[in-house]
Amino acid sequence: MVSISNIMRLVFIVLLLLLGIFSSRVYGDDAVCHRSTEGTDFWFGFMEGRNYRYNLHYIEITVTASVATNFQIFIGKSTTPFYTGSVLQNSSSQIKIPLNLGEATGSETIQEKGIHLVSENPVNVYALNWDQNSADVAVIYPVPSLGNKYFTMCYEPNVDDDPEHGRNSEFLIVASEDSTSVEITPSVVTDGGQPADVQFNIILNKGEVYQVQSLNRNNLAGQGDLSGSFIQSDKPVAVYSGNFSTTVPYLIGASFDHLFEQIPPLRTWGREYYAVPLLTRQADRYRVMASEDSTIITYGSNTVLLNKGDYHEFTLSFNQPTRIHANKPIMVAQFSQSQRTDGTGDPFMIILSPVSQSKNEATFVAYDSHEINSYYVNIVVLTSEKDNIELDGVPLGFFFKPFAGTNYSYTQHPIYPGNHTIKNLNPDRGFLAYVYGYGGYESYGYGAGFNLDLVLDIGQGLNFDGDTLPICDGQSLVLDAGPYFDTYLWNTGETTQKITVSKEDKYWATGTTTDGCYQKDSIELIRIQLQFTINTVVSKKTQ
């Protein structure tokens, strides 16, 4: 039974989402607070991909740069470079890594297959795991953008009679420092026998990786999708998740593909996302995951209530560009569907970025392949900035279309294989971009680059068009500065992450990390009187 008080609370929070909230944000030391996918020091790894054609399967690293630079690649604990090279300005360099050195295999064993890339100047790094008719690409985060807390995003395994065709969901942990203590709580039974929802611990050293795969045997209970597994470490780690090879959605006889994405740490999740349909598709599938209990998510006319680590799956058609927003931080994944469901190409997964993580410039590669014949980039930008966006020096303003009822616009733009650069000519603004390609039985997709800044965001709502938060007579509200800082100070004198307020006033908080990042955020509460009639409140929860 849902109590009247809970219904009233849900209705009020939904009302807050509709009214909107804006928090004026002040940033401290940009060099410390600002993190992105661009950097000079990377630790990463490759999850196990389908090896359906043993002589064709390979893994590959792509390095792009806006400024020419030299770089080196090391594997495992070796201090001898595996590869030394350079990349020209606004160009790319691609390096294949032997499978036995760089691709993790099996479940729950420590392997020395971490890859370390260091460069003289900032670069973007992308990782491709390719097999005939099964490939995906991930954008790689530099060490300063790594975190200590993660939830994984995978997909339901589709177990096939051919063990190299369809099986495990999986995730991979890569240590960037020695003696890293990692706590893992899998959401389902693992292939090594670890039970669901029971924490186990491991110790990793720099250069070591630890892959966890779901139990995959036909007709066994407790196996399946590792989405919502929780990972916590005492030192920064990189986390990747997806599937060895599966179909999207789960469908007998559909096309299989590897799913591979780097997962953003909890501290970088956001509240406002924009879903752009993948060009040529009939529909795309999405999963939204909550970082906290009592998270209310809205998309279109739909409202969903989720608890920590839970996710909700839905589809949007080719003509439904949609704003997805929540009262607390969420993670959003976009899935391209299998050929049998959508006509061409196999599945891939892209982790979408919140609008708070936009980037000013990105150089990327549309991977050339004899199996891919169509290449595209989706770009999201403030409508006021659309005329400042250039692709390879060509203005794109004419091609943008608005998200109805919002300040944002998007374009789905065909591109050719090879190197590309997107830039916002306004240095104070950015964009979000996603690259993808399709062929008959092949596809891939990934984010072209984005920021991963720490965010201090007060309140239970999103940034809209005002700087006020309504409060009803006799009601109190919890203001939350977010869990990503080490110390807090409110103008009320309180030093906790959250405070409870009940009077009309302006409130602000500062947050500081031990490495010197400082942020301040403020919001004003205005008392209002509400009169409304409750007809029906529907909440949905998917686990």
Domains of the chain: which residue ranges?
A: 4-31+455-528, 39-268, 269-451
Contact of 293 with 327, CB cutoff 8 Å: no
pTM: 0.83
Which string of DSSP letters, residue by residue, matches 61-130? Answer: EEEEESS-EEEEEEETT--S-SEEEEE-TTEEEEEEE-HHHHB--SSS-EES--EEEEEEEEEEEEEEEE
The pLDDT of residue 180 is above 50: yes
Local structure of residue 191 (DSSP, 8 states):
T
Task: Of 496, 372, 353, give the one whose Cα is nearest residue 438.
Answer: 372
The pLDDT of residue 26 is above 80: no
| Cα 191 versus chain centre, distance | 25
The pLDDT of residue 62 is above 80: yes
Q: What is the pLDDT of residues 99-128, one digit of tens each?
A: 999 999 999 999 999 999 999 999 999 999
* Of 123-137, 267-281, 367-381, highest mean pLDDT: 267-281
Mean predicted confidence (pLDDT) in 200-216: 95
Alpha carbon distances (Å) from 352 to 244, 348, 364, 379, 450: 21, 13, 17, 12, 10
The pLDDT of residue 340 is above 80: no
Q: Compute how many other C-beta atoms are within 10 angstroms of the C-beta atom of residue 427.
A: 10
What's the sign of the alpha-carbon dihedral 333, 337, 338, 341?
Answer: positive
> Phi, psi at residue 343, to the nearest 5°?
95, -35
The pLDDT of residue 66 is above 70: yes
Q: What is the pLDDT of residues 437-479, one digit of tens each?
A: 987 667 888 998 787 766 676 754 433 333 466 677 778 888 8
Phi-psi region of 224 (alpha: psi -120 to 50; beta: other; left: phi over 0): left
Across 152-229, where does the E strand assignment appear? 167-175, 180-185, 200-204, 209-213
Q: What is the pLDDT of residues 248-262, one digit of tens each?
A: 887 766 677 889 999
Q: What is the pLDDT of residues 374-428, one digit of tens each?
A: 999 999 999 999 999 999 999 999 999 999 999 999 999 999 999 999 999 998 8
Contact of 46 with 127, CB cutoff 8 Å: yes
Q: Compute how many other C-beta atoms are within 10 angstroms of the C-beta atom of residue 157.
A: 26
What's the sign of the alpha-carbon dihedral 452, 455, 459, 461?
Answer: negative
Residue with tokens 């008959």: 440
* CATH (residue range 4-31+455-528): 2.60.40
The pLDDT of residue 314 is above 60: yes
pLDDT of residue 214: 93
